[in-house]
Amino acid sequence: MEDFEFWTLLAGLGIFLFGMYTMEDSIKLLAGPSFKHLIRRYTGSRTKGLLTGVVSTAVLQSSSAVSLMVLAFVGAGLMSLGNAIAVMVGSNIGTTLTVWIVAVFGFKIKIDAFALPLIGVGGLGMIFLARFVRYYNLSRLLVALGLLFHGLEMMKSSVAGLSSNVDLSGLPFTGLWFYLLLGILLTAAMQASAATIALVLAGLHSGMIGFDDGAAMVIGANIGTTITILLGAIGGSTPKKQAAFSHVAFNAISAVLALLLFPVLIWVILDVADFSTNGVLGIALFHTMFNCLGAGIFLPFLQSFTGFLKRIYPESRTALSRFVNITAPDVVEAAIVAFRNEVLNQLFLSVYYVCHKYSIEPGDTDLEQDYPAHLVTYGGLGELHAEIFRFYSGIPVERSEGDSLQLDSVLRASRSIMNSTRNLRELLNDVLEMQAEETGFAMHAVQDFKGRLGRLKSITTSVFQHPDKAAMIDLDDFFAEVEQSDRVFIASLSRAVRSEGLSEEEVTRLLMVNRLFTQSLRMLTLSMKGLVQSYHGISEAMEVLD
């Protein structure tokens, strides 16, 4: 056993894992929120979702990171379950690139020839370029790559002579199922399939394990990697849990398929493709083949599987309505009161939802305590809006002209509230991108937008609690404040253009975000004014909201 260096193996594994996680973190920082935007935007179909998953994972070098982002988007109602599953299937294919990189560069090229220079150059860059965020992260990425390959070299050297001293066939539990289980346990413990596969490649390179054993461990690693997604779904919404379950199901189906076709796949790789003399690259090919095979089998049935998933694990719907669900629309007088109160409820919940998304500190109102943040979703608000319209449609048409005008004005307020909520939700990605810059006028703009939302939340809470005539004075003052904030922002941006030399693209983005932000606040303020007027029986058409 003198040829087996346990501490070298352990240190190499630790350095490999640290390098991999640092590389993933550096790439995410270099990319900014652009990959989140890519994943959220380019998932309009199964094919787009699949390709987005492949590309994002290939670049970020982490299927777990992509899958966790997908879970977050599903939980926020930004992505459908079917498209989310397609992205995660694509991420499984994209992660095979990591294995190819390790197999080719880690075993075909002398690692020390570039691993140590990467660590050296990157380390010096982190010290001397620390003031420049982008170059610092680029230097950090170089160090991570160097550590990843240096750790792999240490693992290889630690087991180089182990095969001549250890006879694994003498163990009481060996064979395909033993290595399959070993791959699952190692990956679940390290939460990194790439690390498990790197160990497989090192063992295969040294002759410690055979090709069949290594292939079984790779299948196990694919199953074990689902633990990260399951942990990310704990305590989440039903859609997040559905997406996590689908990821487990896909990996399990791919594993079963690989086991059923195991002799065929091994024959294709070793005999047809002639990788019998290069088992390291053969393992990389095996990993790619069974993931692509699983995707090819799974994707045609994606829609049916999504429907099946929703039937066996239905979403528990939390009704956001408080008045129209307990009021019959037949009695016009009661229906008008319930309708008006429900739109006021919609207003509060919509502003509450938007402020939560923008990380505005929660208040202490009773209603806000009744609806924890994860229960008020954009999808739930859309259902509430539809429920309000259905109730409106059920109110008898035989009513006075005054009642009709009052109902129509409240309905316009409801439409404006939903429209403003949609605009502010869609602007969130732009605001997050500006926030990531952390310096200059963009950061000032983020603080300004959040400050306006904080004021909106304050005035909305006040109107919700006391929708009396006195509120009209506060709403008039707030509307003037909205207009004043718009003028101040334009003036500040004009000064920043002269002093900071902002690009035309940046100026256009800031102007468009401010315009939509201001329009949304105007519509919400006018909606509140209309609701307060309606609350006291003052019928007034709100054509300005259209």
Domain boundary among 312, 339, 364: 312
480: in domain: yes
Q: 295 and 223 share a domain?
A: yes
56: in domain: yes
Residue 390's closest CA among 347, 328, 337?
A: 328
The mean pLDDT value for 77-91 works out to 78
511: in domain: yes
According to the model, what pLDDT value does residue 164 have?
Answer: 45
Q: pLDDT-derived band of residue 272, with 50, 70 and 90 as boundaries?
A: confident
Domain boundary among 312, 335, 350: 312
CATH of the domain at 423: 1.20.58.220
Torsions phi, psi of 361, nearest 5? -55, 135
Cα dihedral 190, 195, 197, 199, rounded to 10, equals -100
According to the model, what pLDDT value does residue 502 have?
Answer: 77
Can you tell me whether residue 203 is helix, strand or coil? helix
**Model confidence over 365-423: pLDDT tens digits?**
554 555 555 568 888 888 889 899 998 888 887 777 777 888 888 999 999 999 999 99
Q: What percent of the chain has pLDDT over 90?
A: 10
61: in domain: yes
Separation of alpha carbons 325 and 396, rounded Å: 17
Separation of alpha carbons 526 and 59, rounded Å: 46
Taking 80 as the threshold, does the pLDDT of residue 32 lie above it?
A: no
The mean pLDDT value for 317-322 works out to 71
Q: 130 and 59 share a domain?
A: yes
More confident residue, 399 or 172: 399
Separation of alpha carbons 532 and 546, rounded Å: 18
Q: How far is CA 384 from the centre of its chain?
A: 25
More confident residue, 449 or 101: 449
Read off the pTM. 0.53
Q: 66 and 208 share a domain?
A: yes
Q: pLDDT-derived band of residue 36, with 50, 70 and 90 as boundaries?
A: low
Residue 500, Cβ density class (10 Å: 0-12 exposed, 13-18 middle, ≥19 buried): middle
According to the model, what pLDDT value does residue 544 have?
Answer: 36
81: in domain: yes
Taking 60 as the threshold, does the pLDDT of residue 222 lie above it?
A: yes
According to the model, what pLDDT value does residue 412 have?
Answer: 92
Separation of alpha carbons 320 and 323, rounded Å: 10
Which residue do the tokens 């990843």 mark? 148
Q: 63 and 212 share a domain?
A: yes
According to the model, what pLDDT value does residue 340 have?
Answer: 87
Q: Which residue segment(s) compose the domain that 344 sits in?
A: 324-545
According to the model, what pLDDT value does residue 373 have?
Answer: 53
Instruction: Give residues with Cβ within 8 angstroms of 526, minimum separation 6.
Output: 413, 416, 479, 542, 544, 545
More confident residue, 198 or 223: 223
According to the model, what pLDDT value does residue 315 have?
Answer: 62
Q: 283 and 370 share a domain?
A: no
Taking 60 as the threshold, does the pLDDT of residue 168 lie above it?
A: no
Q: 59 and 122 share a domain?
A: yes
Q: 435 and 337 share a domain?
A: yes
According to the model, what pLDDT value does residue 252 have?
Answer: 87
From 55-59, 315-319, 386-390, 391-395, the region with the lowest mean pLDDT? 315-319
Q: pLDDT-derived band of residue 53, with 50, 70 and 90 as boundaries?
A: confident
According to the model, what pLDDT value does residue 519 have?
Answer: 94
Q: 375 and 445 share a domain?
A: yes
Q: What is the number of structural domains in the chain?
A: 2
Q: pLDDT-derived band of residue 28, with 50, 70 and 90 as boundaries?
A: low
Taking 90 as the threshold, does the pLDDT of residue 194 lie above it?
A: no
Q: 208 and 297 share a domain?
A: yes
Domain boundary among 275, 292, 312: 312
Q: 10 and 138 share a domain?
A: yes
Residue 45: count other Cβ atoms within 10 Å of its Cβ.
12
HSE at residue 331, side-chain half, CA atoms within 13 A, is 8
Taking 60 as the threshold, does the pLDDT of residue 77 lie above it?
A: no
Q: 213 and 292 share a domain?
A: yes
84: in domain: yes
Q: 75 and 157 share a domain?
A: yes
318: in domain: no
317: in domain: no
**Model confidence over 512-524: pLDDT tens digits?**
999 999 999 999 9
Q: pLDDT-derived band of residue 543, with 50, 70 and 90 as boundaries?
A: very low
Mean of the per-residue pLDDT values for the chain? 78
Q: What percent of the chain has pLDDT over 70?
A: 78
Torsions phi, psi of 539, nearest 5? -80, 125
Per mean pLDDT, which of 18-32, 46-60, 250-264, 496-510 is the most reliable?
250-264
Q: pLDDT-derived band of residue 24, with 50, 70 and 90 as boundaries?
A: low
The contacts found for 106-113 with CB under 8 angstroms, 24 or more apart, are 106/149, 106/152, 106/153, 106/156, 106/198, 106/201, 107/156, 107/201, 107/205, 107/280, 111/149, 111/150, 111/152, 111/153, 112/150, 112/153
**441 to 96, 198, 499: CA distances (angstroms):** 41, 45, 10
The mean pLDDT value for 482-494 works out to 91
Q: pLDDT-derived band of residue 1, with 50, 70 and 90 as boundaries?
A: very low
According to the model, what pLDDT value does residue 398 have?
Answer: 73
